[in-house]
């Protein structure tokens, strides 16, 4: 082994980062005493370390932030009634949309097919109207209609109770 041979670059950089184990660290430290090039590198590294991060004077931001948070909270605080109302609205909207689709399926008919001139569109529309007729017959049986309404009601109730449960859970545990 030569005395003056420098350690590998990776080991040196690990030493600069203070990540080496003790045995190797002692070796490098002994080497630094004798080698000028590595010592210079070490000094540069220390300078970088000193000047990379430094403390900056801080203005006081606590009050401003607290004010911001207060305003945010006052805007976003929602009363209990509004929460229930929200649940009610969503379920009502879903039921009404479903009912509208049901009505559409009953009423739509393509009578004025002569308006469309190209045959491709005509054929597509005819196919579509046939499909709609099938849907109509599917919905016109009364048992199905009952099932449809009932499922809507069940959905509404589930949503409602879920809303209540979530509200109280929010209060207690989190």
Q: What does the binding site for other proteins look like in residue numbers (CB under 8 A)?
A: 9-10, 13-14, 16-17, 19, 40, 43-45, 47-49, 51-58, 61-66, 68-69, 72-73, 174
Please give, one letter per residue, the 3-state secondary structure of 55-107: CCCCCCCHHHHHHHHHHHHHHHCCCHHHHHHHHHHHHHHHHHHHHHHHHHHHH
Q: Name the residue among 169, 168, 161 with its Cα closest to residue 87.
A: 161
Query: What gap in Å lies between CA 84 and CA 148, rounded to an integer?
Result: 24
Q: Which lies closer to other proteins via its Cβ, residue 42 or residue 102?
A: 42
CB of 21 to other proteins, least distance (A): 12
What does the block give as tokens for 70? 């207060």
Which CB, 46 or 86, lies closer to other proteins?
Answer: 46
Distance in Å, CB of 63 to other proteins, minimum? 8
Name the residue nearer to other proteins (CB basis): 70 or 133: 70
Shortest approach of other proteins to residue 50 CB, angstroms? 8
């Amino acid at each position: 082994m030569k005395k003056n041979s420098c350690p590998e670059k990776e080991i040196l950089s690990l030493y600069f980062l203070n990540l080496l184990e003790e045995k190797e660290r002692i070796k490098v430290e002994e080497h630094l005493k004798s080698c000028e090039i590595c010592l210079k590198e070490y000094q540069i590294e220390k300078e970088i370390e000193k000047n990379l991060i430094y403390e900056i004077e801080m203005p006081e931001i606590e009050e401003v932030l607290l004010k911001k948070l207060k305003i945010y909270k006052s805007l976003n605080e929602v009363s209990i009634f509004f929460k229930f109302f929200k649940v009610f609205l969503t379920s009502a909207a879903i039921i009404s949309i479903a009912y509208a689709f049901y009505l559409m399926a009953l009423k739509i008919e393509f009578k004025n097919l002569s308006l469309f001139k190209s045959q491709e569109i005509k054929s597509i529309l005819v196919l579509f109207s046939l499909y709609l007729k099938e849907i109509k017959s599917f919905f016109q049986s009364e048992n199905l209609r009952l099932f449809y309404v009932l499922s809507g009601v069940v959905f509404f109730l589930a949503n409602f109770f879920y809303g209540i449960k979530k509200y109280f859970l929010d209060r207690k545990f989190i």
